[in-house]
Structure 1
Amino acid sequence: MGFWSLGSIRQPKAQDIKWRKSPRGDYYRLFMIDDVSELKLDGVGGVYILWHGGLQPSWLLAGATEDLGHSFSELMDDPDIREYDSRGHVFMSWSPIVDEFREGVVHFIAKHTNPTFECDFDDREDPIPVLLPR
């Protein structure tokens, strides 16, 4: 079973929410960004996901926010997240999703990826299946 697979979990048809990549087509490395404001995410709401690569890659965290720029700035200052950068770099992506669907998307991601850190979401919202970054 590869890192990106969900194993034997049978999932309903997942939505492609078009996880954002750099202009070069790579996922951004969280700690290689000099200035988050250059991504023009201040005040943009959506869902984000973090993971690390390396020998034993894993999903780290998913979340919903009304301000992706602010959330990424806070994550860059988090020493627990920074610790994973030396284990294969911390990668990030996001998708600008309307407010009414964010909690359901994070619920699905948290339920199906077993992230290292606890994800904050409203578990009363039905999970909304999405394709994960590949």
Structure 2
Amino acid sequence: MTLRFWKKDEPPLPPGDEPSDIGWQRDERGYYQRLLRLRPQSSGLDGVGGVYVMWHRGVHPKWIYVGATDDLAQAIGDARDSERVLSYEAYGCVYVTWALVRKEYQSGVVAYLRDTLAPEIDDVFPADRIAMDATPIPVLPPG
């Protein structure tokens, strides 16, 4: 079952339904983007809202952050400049992906992913807009 976030008349799935694939973005070769190689402003993300996830690969891979924003270029650009995020480069490359999720569903998707993935950074970055009391909306994580 797929959530159709782009249709105004379709409500989100109630909590407890099967997680949906929301189309995590990859590069033209089908790989997830390395954070330090991605140029968010030249990737067509200016003013585009959605949910984004960062993680690092290495001996002990970990989820780093899950957020939602009205401007993916700004949020991902800020993450690239964050010493806190960049500190994870020492453990393996930091990767990022995003999904275009309608604003009214973003907080629910983030709530579900934060509960499921337990990212290392659990506070909210300045460019993000997350209602922490949102009802979780089940989605498949990147992978």
Same fold per superposition (TM over 0.5) = yes
Identity of aligned residues (%): 34
Structure 2, unaligned runs of 5 or more: 1-15, 125-129
Residues in 1 aligned to 2:82 and 2:22: alpha-carbon distance in whole angstroms? 26
Residues in 1 aligned to 2:122 and 2:137: alpha-carbon distance in whole angstroms? 18
Question: Moved runs in structure 1, 4+ residues, more than 6 A?
Answer: none
Tell me the SS of whatever aligns to 1:31.
Answer: coil
When the two structures are aligned, how many residues end up with a matched partner?
A: 123
Alignment match, 1:85: 89
Alignment match, 1:29: 34
RMSD across aligned C-alpha pairs, in angstroms?
Answer: 1.1
Residues in 2 aligned to 1:99 and 1:82: alpha-carbon distance in whole angstroms? 27
Aligned partner (choices 39, 64, 75) of residue 43 of structure 2: 39
* Bigger helix share: 1
Which letter does structure 1 place at the counterpart of 2:94? Answer: V
Structure 1, unaligned runs of 5 or more: 1-10
Alignment match, 1:14: 19
TM-score (normalizing by structure 2) = 0.82
TM-score (normalizing by structure 1) = 0.88
Residues in 2 aligned to 1:24 and 1:38: alpha-carbon distance in whole angstroms? 18
Tell me the SS of whatever aligns to 1:51.
Answer: strand
Segment of structure 1 superposing worse, 96-105 or 116-125: 116-125
Which letter does structure 2 place at the counterpart of 1:124? Answer: D
CA contact (8 A) 1:110 1:119 kept: no
